[in-house]
Amino acid sequence: IDADGRKTFDLTLQSGETDFLPGAQTATWGANDTYLGPTLRARRGDDVRIRVANDLAEPTTLHWHGMALPGAMDGGPHQMIDPGEIWQPHWLIDQPAATLWYHPHPHGRTADHVYRGIAGMFIIDEHDTDELALPSDYGVDDIPVIVQDKQFDGDGQLSTAEGPASLVGVLGDDILVNGTHNPHLDVADQRVRLRLLNASNARVYDFGFDDDRRFALIGSDSGLLDEPVDSTRVQLAPGERAEIIVELHPGERTTLRSYPPDLGMGFPLERTNGGHDTFDVLQLRAADQLRDAPPLPGTLASVERHRPDEAATTRTFELEGFSRINGREMDMARIDQTIPRGAVEIWEITNASNTYHNFHVHLVHFQILDIDGDPPPPELAGWKDTVFLAPGQTVRIISRFDTEPDPDAPFMYHCHILDHEDAGMMGQYTIA
């Protein structure tokens, strides 16, 4: 932070080699590293400046997933950074505390660039004045958990070979957490906060513990929930986040696992798209003496609800096949929607295909009004920016679109299955 209150970050996108499996180096990409990138942290009110240098041999972008900012700073497919170039976005953080992330977004190449390893967390911290007794000592009791599945070939090289009858692209058999294979975490506190991010290209996880212990779900994609939700499972599709708080007893071990997710695809596609898979994700090893943690607050945030009667417009989006929204594939030269600045809108999204999708909207955080006509369960009732849709499902979301109009810097909405996004399941909107 400089004297003018600016918070500056330097990121260099680079290629290198990483040994995920013992003795096997494989080609990877990262930011300031050979795989993944640093966690960036800021607070509401911060004036953030980022210097992104592209040292890769091909053009890419860096998108701030979940961030409310002007279109020219968004890092979508219109903000390409050529090899050797530097891009310097800046914006004022003006949104609630949340676990966001960043990743490349070049049109048609996002799946490849993310899979090679460029991604990182962008945490918006609570203010001390929020007086929330949540674990927030980064790396000690506040832990980033970036979950990705990878496929390795017989020589330990990263591979994108797809399984038979996958409708979503590569589904790997190996899980990495923060780039580590078979990870464990030594815990010295009675309560630990895990910031779960599904940064996989296509795989859906249903997180829970091997001993089925209960945990408190405290946050979804774009902010804290009103109050903790007592849970044993939380399902995350690519791009989604959840913050959970787990309690440990001295000396015990428990393993965060992914149980078979409910993809709603039926036999046999449920199985060929990961719906029967179980993985161990991260083992927690509690020390023999644990530091006491204050009790979990009963109230976390007051999430202001958008009401359907505030909405000026309802737009409908039909997801078809693997590449179309409302019958069309992404066209960089076509603006699909124009939204008046400050408007509250309802978007009704229907999955009209036989595979799952997850719909993400840039710029905004939204609330889910209903899923197939029913109100969302508590874990989906907070701020979201990405929502899962099983085949046949319809979800209505509501949000306010508010940033400076810029006809030359559209925002994207798209399926966050990265192969679908690259194939064209994406559209563009501008604020007018």
Site residues for Cu ion per CB under 5 A: 65, 357, 362, 415, 417, 420
Least separation in angstroms between CB 352 and Cu ion: 12
DSSP 227-268: EEEEES-EEE-TT-EEEEEEE--TT-EEEEEEEPP-----TT
Q: Six-digit token pair at 77?
A: 């497919």
Binding test (CB under 6 A) with ligand C2O, winner from 107, 203, 414, 420? 414
Q: How many residues bind ligand C2O (CB under 6 A)?
A: 10
Between 103 and 396, name the residue whose CB sits nearer to ligand C2O: 103
Least separation in angstroms between CB 266 and ligand C2O: 28
Q: Which does residue 420 touch among Cu ion, ligand C2O, none (CB within 5 to 8 A, set by kind)?
A: Cu ion
Distance CA 43, CA 93 (A): 7
Between 241 and 362, name the residue whose CB sits nearer to Cu ion: 362
CA distances from 44 to 48, 123, 208, 365, 367 (A): 10, 11, 31, 15, 20
Least separation in angstroms between CB 52 and ligand C2O: 16
Least separation in angstroms between CB 362 and ligand C2O: 6
Residues 6+ apart with CB under 8 A from 56: 13, 14, 15, 29, 83
Between 194 and 197, name the residue whose CB sits nearer to ligand C2O: 197
Binding test (CB under 6 A) with ligand C2O, winner from 31, 46, 65, 258? 65
DSSP 289-333: EEE--PPPPS-----PPPPGGG-SEEEEEEEETTTEETTB---TT
Residues 6+ apart with CB under 8 A from 47: 4, 5, 6, 7, 90, 91, 92, 93
Beta bridge partners of 183: none
Residue with tokens 């505030």: 310
Least separation in angstroms between CB 30 and ligand C2O: 17
Binding test (CB under 6 A) with ligand C2O, winner from 107, 150, 193, 362? 362
Q: Which does residue 357 touch among ligand C2O, Cu ion, none (CB within 5 to 8 A, set by kind)?
A: Cu ion
At residue 301's C-alpha, the angle toward residues 297 and 304, to 5°, is: 155
Distance CA 256, CA 240 (A): 17
Q: Which does residue 384 touch among ligand C2O, Cu ion, none (CB within 5 to 8 A, set by kind)?
A: none
Least separation in angstroms between CB 431 and ligand C2O: 16
Residues 6+ apart with CB under 8 A from 431: 71, 338, 339, 340, 341, 363, 401, 402, 403, 404, 405, 406, 411
Binding test (CB under 6 A) with ligand C2O, winner from 42, 158, 244, 412? 412
Least separation in angstroms between CB 148 and Cu ion: 17
Identify whether the C-beta of residue 53 lies closer than 8 Å to the C-beta of residue 63: no
Distance CA 239, CA 234 (A): 14
Binding test (CB under 6 A) with ligand C2O, winner from 18, 63, 89, 147? 63
Q: Which does residue 239 touch among Cu ion, ligand C2O, none (CB within 5 to 8 A, set by kind)?
A: ligand C2O
Between 357 and 396, name the residue whose CB sits nearer to Cu ion: 357
Residues in 214-273 at the binding interface with ligand C2O, rule: CB under 6 A: 239
Binding test (CB under 6 A) with ligand C2O, winner from 107, 233, 324, 360? 360
Residues in 111-150 at the binding interface with ligand C2O, rule: CB under 6 A: none
Least separation in angstroms between CB 346 and Cu ion: 20
Binding test (CB under 6 A) with ligand C2O, winner from 13, 37, 69, 105? 105
Contact flag: residue 384 with ligand C2O (CB under 6 A): no
Between 330 and 368, name the residue whose CB sits nearer to ligand C2O: 330
DSSP 86-133: EE--EEE--S-SEEEEEE---TTTHHHHHHHT--EEEEEEPPGGG---
Identify whether the C-beta of residue 369 lies closer than 8 Å to the C-beta of residue 310: no
Q: Which does residue 414 touch among Cu ion, ligand C2O, none (CB within 5 to 8 A, set by kind)?
A: ligand C2O
Distance CA 282, CA 215 (A): 15
Q: Which does residue 417 touch among Cu ion, ligand C2O, none (CB within 5 to 8 A, set by kind)?
A: Cu ion
CA distances from 421 to 156, 176, 262, 343 (A): 28, 23, 22, 26
Q: Which does residue 116 touch among ligand C2O, Cu ion, none (CB within 5 to 8 A, set by kind)?
A: none
| Interface residues toward ligand C2O, by CB under 6 A | 63, 65, 103, 105, 239, 360, 362, 412, 414, 416
